[in-house]
Structure 1
Amino acid sequence: MPNSAVIHRITALDLKVESRVWPFAQMRRAEIDAHFADSQREKPGIWNGRVLLGRNADFSGGRLRSSYFETDFASFLAWRDWGFPDREVFNGFGMGALRSADGAFLLGEMAGETVNAGRIYFPAGTPDPADIVDGALDIAGSITREIEEETGLTPADYHPGAHWDCVAVGAAVAIIRILSVDMPAVTLKARIEANLARQAHPELAGIHVVRGTGDLSPRMPQFVIAFLEREFGARQ
């Protein structure tokens, strides 16, 4: 995967889930477990659940084809924190780009107890086994789940776009779909923040409204910045 952002516009996803033992997780098990223990001491709220990572991404023909396999979060975290030592693997995750009726995008700031504390991006999460449907990864379903968990919005509140923008940066592929909401940004922001206030342990610390490139922040990942620059550039 290139280190600079490459955006592939696609209309279909073909993401098969395979049974695979990850050599990285096997060979470095003791180091991984020690790293996760250190991470848990720093962020007691994290836990070693199961996640899905991708291999063999193919963006040809307007379709993303890839295979996914299951591993533990501790192995994923070590792989990420150690600079992605296995270059055959990528983190391919769905993101719901909430767009208000007045054309702004709304992003969340991750709460302090999360592993990505302070980072600002669209509702997202590394896929897990709950996102597998009939042997394939259901990215649309993953986005629906993450949107509801992080913002309280349900599919009745937004209209998904017809295409996906796959933003590839290094070992990350953000599979982004625009979700249009029929209310202005100020109203949508207030609604999401009211939902966060009702949660005992919200994943988000706040909501950021982005109306143009002047609102971009260095706390946003490169794939989010690349997507927003392309969206706002297309309006000029």
Structure 2
Amino acid sequence: MSKRTSNISGWPDEGVIFPVTSIDVRVSGEPHPYFHSHTAEIATNWEREVAANPALFDGRMLLMRSLEKRDGAISGECHIIPFSAFLLWRKTRPAGAALHLFGLPVIVSSDGAVIAIRMGQHTANPGRVYCAAGSLDPDDIRGGYCDIDGNMAREVLEETGLSLSDASNISGFHGLRGQDVVTLFRAYHFAETAAELIALINAHIAADPDPEIDAALAIRTANPGQHPYPPFMPPVLEWVFSTTQ
């Protein structure tokens, strides 16, 4: 097991995609130990981040403390933290301190393209290209547990204007991990072509007074060098194109 993932147990190697049968992540009401022990460093780093990008907002999100995988079942515990704490953790990633888990809805057009978005320059991920998604936050808590499907539907609607409920076919969940990040994804197949979906998203961007994204893109290859992807995107693209052709 990697030293960086000492709070993960029972997982495949990094970058290996595996089926997920259930997700059961409890939200603790206690402070995350990482936040509790790094308060001063978080505040100092946040001052630097905001000085470089005044558009950043220190909202609340969910950061995992531990995750376990047994067969296809994922369970664990997370805590509500300020976004500023996540930014410092993401920059330093101290071994065993925390894990980031998020849902990735992969929209696939009727002509076989994955529809991705490019993040705006004012965001925390400027210029990055990936499927519309976002971190879990308190709005995604249902009965004390993380609602991954609800999070994905909310993020896609906010960023693109598309409703995941309009998908004609939805795959089961799959997952992968890397660098203390766990990505849970599923494919949403739409009846519209890539051109039609991009036109809908572009209209949403134009009507949004403060859009998070500045473009929608149709991806038709798993080439990792095609766009400035985060690490999770190339293996997800390879899986999608290999299973839908």
TM-score (structure 1 length as normaliser): 0.92
> How many Å separate the matches in 2 of 1:89 and 1:215?
27
Contact 1:12/1:163 (CA < 8 Å) preserved in 2?
Answer: no
CA contact (8 A) 2:34 2:97 kept: no
Deviation at residue 3 of structure 1 after TM alignment: 8.2
Structure 2: which amino acid aligns with 1:184? T
Which residue of 2 is the match for residue 92 of structure 1?
101
User: Structure 1: how far apart are the matches of 2:164 and 2:227?
Assistant: 30
Alignment of 1:73-222 (within 5 A): 73-82=83-92, 84-159=93-168, 161-214=170-223, 217-222=226-231
1:36 aligned to which of 11, 26, 46: 46
Q: Could you tell me whether the CA contact under 8 Å between 2:28 and 2:79 is conserved in 1?
A: yes
2:235 aligned counterpart, secondary structure: helix
Consecutive unaligned residues in structure 2, runs of 5 or more: 6-11
1:224 aligns with 2:233: yes
Question: 1:189 corresponds to which letter in structure 2?
Answer: I
User: Take 1:159 and 1:187, find their aligned partners in 2: how far apart are those partners?
Assistant: 15
1:11–1:162 CA contact under 8 A, matched in 2:
no
**Alignment CA distance shift 1:215-1:92 (3 Å):** closer
Aligned mates of 2:226, 2:237 — CA distance in 1 = 11
Larger mean Cα displacement after TM superposition, 26-35 or 116-125: 26-35
Deviations 1:56-110 (A, max 9, x none): 322223222121111111111101012x115242110111111111111000000
Judge which range, 209-218 or 41-50, deviates more: 209-218
Tell me the CA shift for residue 214 of structure 1: 4.2
C-alpha distance in 2, partners of 1:143/1:203?
15
Cα–Cα, structure 1 residues 56 and 25, in superposed 2: closer, same or farther, change >3 Å? closer
RMSD, matched Cα: 1.9
Compared CA separation, residues 160 and 116, structure 1 to 2 (3 A)? farther
Instruction: Decide whether aligned partners of structure 1 residues 218 and 188 sit closer, same or farther in structure 2, where only a CA change above 3 A counts.
Output: closer
Q: Which residue of 81, 85, 92 corresponds with 1:71?
A: 81
Q: Identity of paired residues, percent?
A: 30
SS at match of 1:229: helix
Q: Deviations over 1:147-200 (max 9, x none)?
A: 000000124422462411112111111111211111111111111111111111
Aligned 8 A contact 1:3 1:170 in 2: no
* Equivalent residue, structure 2, for 1:52: 62
Distance change (3 Å), C-alpha of 1:78 and 1:214: closer
How far apart are residue 218 of structure 1 and its match? 4.8
- Whether the 8 Å contact between 2:15 and 2:178 is mirrored in structure 1 is yes
Q: Check whether the contact 2:34–2:98 (CA below 8 A) recurs between aligned residues.
A: no
Unaligned segments of structure 1, at least 5 residues: none
